Structure 1
Amino acid sequence: MKRKSWWTKIYDFLSGFPLATATLLLLLVLTWLATLEQIDAGLYPTLNKYFSWRSLFFIPELNGKKLPVILPGGYYVCAVLLVNMILGGIIRIRKGWKQAGNLISHFAIVFMLLGGGLAHHLEQRGNMAVGEGEMSNTAEDYFEYVIEVREVKEDQDDVIHVVRGENLTDLEGGRSRTFDFNGVPFSLKVSGYLKNAVPVSSFERAPSSKELITDNYYLMQKDEEVNAETNLAGAYAQIIFEDGEKSAPFILAGASFHPFTVRDGDRLFTVDMRKRLWVMPFTVALDTFTADFHPGTSRPAKFVSDIRRVENGQESAVTIQMNEPMRYEGFTFFQASYGPPGAGPGDQMYSVFEVVKNPADKWPEYSLYVVAFGMLVTFLTKLGDHVVAQSRRRKNAA
């Protein structure tokens, strides 16, 4: 008997049913633990911990206590399952019309896993608040803080340069990075990034860890919020002019009300830290907002926003309400909340939409339909075989 090569053994392992069973059980455990942990840690941090591509291994926590086990990240468990489905469920599976249903279902599962990976890397989420009678075409990212360097011009549109969050979040401790901008007569050096911090006067509260004090203020680090979208990022910055002259360090913070101002001759610039803004290819105008509640409670029964979608001079009337979003040009607008809190009759309302751009938005839904179709084909195939077999038995008995 010929011994199997190492490549054959690896292929058999990756395409085998035991690996599929193990990955599915692992996903079950990860989902269960993540559901429990997010109660204390918050949804967004838990998702990043359990299912981000940056999380190769992690230690789960329950009730603030670490469990004595190291688990693989859900992203990589799904990647192994994807490889298993392709090799075992599509390539290795026996071909023929009797296996057509299984093949269709496995294709759909592969499609679903690919959609999840695509959404993980490319999905964008933010919110847009629009008052009744007002219009907006800009959404604000939930989590990503950026630095904007803006040249203020009187007779022209301001020129804005943006430093994305992916270039900032690793600048913790003593790390720093210098950014240059086309047409800007200075560089910006950034260091000491904190995910959640507020500027505090050193006269009111003395620093506890030798934080840098500038202009009698320093950044006081705070614990990350359970709701990650309420974190207020902060960092230290310094202007470096073309002649080598440097400004004093200054603080950039999401909690600040005013940007830092830089003058170079007759040119005026502002430097500010804020959540990233992204512009829609159309404008949303809110005509009316209606909120209905369950009798005698503050539990929402229905939020309804009647809007006009304005694009290239054309208007379309659309209604957005709970569980009935607007999908258009790759964007999905969900009815998220409203305000102001405690508004009474006659008060002007505003509506808050969750804006999601996900190129794989409908992939899971389509995958489920295809899986169901594949299972139906398998069922009908088995039923047909059973009917034919029974008919043959009767004929042979006769």
Structure 2
Amino acid sequence: MPLERLFRFFSSLRLTVALLILAMVLVFLGTLGQVSMGLYRAQNEFFRSFFVYWGPPGAGWRVPVFPGGYLLGALMLINLVAAHWRYFRPDWRKSGIVLIHAGLVLLLLGQFATDLLSVESTLHLREGEAKNYSEVDRRVELAITEITDPAHDRVVAIPQAVLQRQGEVRVTDLPFTVRVLRFYPNAMVSARPAGATGPPPATQGFGPQVQLTPLPHVTEMNKRDVPAAIVELVVPSGSLGTWVVSEYIGQPQTVTVGNRTFTLAMRLQRIYKPWTIKLLDFRHDRYPGTDIPKNFSSRILLTDPRNGTEREVLIYMNNPLRYGGETYYQASYDPDEGGTVLQVVRNPSWLTPYVACALVTVGLVLQFSIHLFRFTTRSASS
């Protein structure tokens, strides 16, 4: 029967071996891909995808040429469950094998959940500075801030994923429509030369004073792409003009619609928290008589008005702060040692690898003990 043949295929040892070989090839290809793509893009192209795609340089199409990490992981999970279902027979002497398989299934599911749910960001603080948000290093957002009321700002953030679509964005709180005319994944924005010919990239704000130069994708680990966009603001009566937005433009650009005033700014994507962290002191300790780093530490003040929390915490290497489902690690510091950079990790499934490894360990010990007991019993009876 077709279903029986399909079940035998997914539960076969040959499929297990084939998937392991494909996984090793994928790791090899992904490692090579980091040279031209960079680490983060290679992770998305090879491991966080169902297929690896290829297309001729400059072409607008790509075809799948190899299974990606998600597809191989899903097939491994199906193969493991199907094989267990096919070959397992209820027997207390195989209880260790059940625990081993359960641990492997949990490990695969936990890794998939980590890829989908975990978020990494950074918190950069100068001494005496307090923030209630962290920033995602490699994603930007267009922040439209209403500053009409001096005592209260209202911010609308359009994430990079939406800007990349190069379409219209309508937000109820805004009296205009944002039309993304062009999006550049990486571009330099510099002062427009005095003798430049041709039209400027935009008509409003700093647009007439700058030039925009598209750049290739950055692959170095210590660098990143700086996206830019050309946006048009449209009201029912017509267009208000076009603006260039980029992190290279350090000052917000202002636009007034009726009696309401707004600013436009491209910035790193922010993740706001209901608590505030203030840097009280940063220390960079060295071994006496040398410049060899001994320790980096940040003394911070954590304030959470929801539960009245206000306490000092010392964050240093291998001693992170865990609070509100997030973990704050000491990651870097400013060259003048007057500021710190904390890595912020939110991973709801962080316990799954530990539980999975514990299950596998208990299963191995239990299975070995069962076989050892049977062996010693037979030896004694003989």
TM bucket, shorter chain: 0.7 to 0.9
* Alignment CA distance shift 1:219-1:96 (3 Å): farther
- Is 1:365 paired with 2:361? no
1:351 aligns with 2:340: yes
Q: Distance in 2 between matches of 1:100 and 1:374?
A: 7
Partner of 2:264: 271
Counterpart of 1:290 in structure 2: which amino acid? R
1:27 aligned onto 2:23: yes
Distance 1:363 1:293, change over 3 A: farther
TM-score by length of 1: 0.83
Offset of residue 140 of structure 1: 0.6
Conserved? CA contact 1:44–1:228, under 8 Å? no
Cα distance change on mapping 1:194 and 1:249 into 2, 3 Å = same
Say if 1:379 and 1:198 are closer, same or farther in 2 by CA, change over 3 A.
same
State the Cα deviation string for residues 82-101 of structure 1 (Å, max 9, x = none): 22222223575333212211
Distance 2:176 2:192 in 1: 29
Deviates more, 1:28-37 or 1:17-26: 28-37
State the shift of 1:355 in Å.
Answer: 0.6
**How far is 1:72 from its partner?**
1.7
Shift of residue 248, structure 1, vs aligned partner: 2.5
Query: Is 1:48–2:37 an aligned residue pair?
Result: no
- Match of 1:234? 228
The answer to whether structure 1 residue 123 and structure 2 residue 118 are counterparts is yes
CA contact (8 A) 1:327 1:333 kept: yes
The match for 2:273 is 280
Tell me the amino acid that sits aligned with residue 230 of structure 1.
R
- Residue number in structure 2 paired with 1:6: 2
Counterparts of 2:376 and 2:176, CA distance in 1? 81
In structure 2, runs of 5+ residues without a counterpart are 56-63
Q: Which residue of 1 aligns with 2:171?
A: 181
Aligned 8 A contact 1:207 1:218 in 2: no
Question: Alignment partner of 2:15: what SS?
Answer: helix
- Would you identify which runs of 4 or more consecutive aligned residues in structure 1 move more than 6 Å? 204-208
Q: C-alpha offsets along residues 211-255 of structure 1, whole Å, 9 cap, x if unaligned? A: 956526443111222238621111110010122x10232211122
Is 1:161 the counterpart of 2:156 in the alignment?
A: yes
**Partner SS state of residue 271, structure 1:** strand
Pairs aligned (count): 367
1:59-109 deviation digits (Å, cap 9, x = unpaired): 69xxxxxxxx94321121111112222222357533321221111121111
In the other structure, the counterpart of 1:38 is 34
Q: Aligned pair in 2 of structure 1 residues 129, 213: CA closer, same or farther (>3 Å)?
A: closer
1:197–1:232 contact (8 Å) kept in structure 2? yes
Letter in 1 for 2:15: L
- 1:324 aligned to 2:343? no
Matched to 1:354, the amino acid is Q
- Report if aligned partners of 1:143, 1:229 keep a CA contact under 8 Å in 2: no
Aligned equivalents of 2:368 and 2:194: distance in 1? 73
> More deviation in 112-121 or 18-27?
18-27
**2:100 maps to 1:110:** no
Of residues 298, 307, 324, the one that matches 1:305 is 298
Consecutive unaligned residues of structure 1, counting only runs of 5 or more, are 61-68
| CA gap 1:206/1:22 in 2 versus in 1, 3 angstroms | farther
Counterpart CA distance in 1 for 2:344 and 2:246 is 24
Q: What's the C-alpha RMSD, in Å, of the aligned pairs?
A: 2.8
Match of 2:284 in 1: 291
Residues 262 and 228 (structure 1), Cα distance of their counterparts in 2 relative to 1, 3 Å cut: farther
Q: Which amino acid letter does the alignment assign opposite residue 182 of structure 1?
A: T
Label 1:112 to 1:149 Cα distance change in 2 as closer, same or farther (>3 A): same
Does the 8 A contact of 1:59 with 1:71 survive in 2? no
1:221 is the counterpart of 2:176? no
Q: 1:186 Cα deviation (Å)?
A: 0.8
Identity of aligned residues (%): 26
Residue identity opposite 2:180 in structure 1: V
Which stretch of the first structure deviates more once superposed, 181-190 or 281-290?
281-290
Amino acid at match of 1:76: L
- In the TM superposition, residue 338 of structure 1 has moved relative to its aligned partner by 0.8
In 1, the alpha carbon distance for the partners of 2:292 and 2:195 equals: 41
Change in Cα spacing, 1:268 to 1:225, as seen in structure 2 (3 Å) is same
State the shift of 1:40 in Å. Answer: 5.4
Q: 1:28 to 1:317 in 2, by over 3 A?
A: farther
C-alpha distance in structure 2 between counterparts of 1:205 and 1:122, whole Å: 51
SS in structure 2 of the partner of residue 9 of structure 1: helix
Contact 1:219 1:235 in 2 (8 A): no
Judged with a 3 Å threshold, the aligned counterparts in structure 2 of structure 1 residues 39 and 115 are, in CA distance, closer, same or farther, namely: same
* 1:201 CA displacement: 4.8
SS across alignment from 1:223: coil
If the length of structure 2 is used for normalisation, what is the TM-score? 0.86
Q: 1:185·1:242 contact (CA, 8 Å) conserved in 2?
A: no
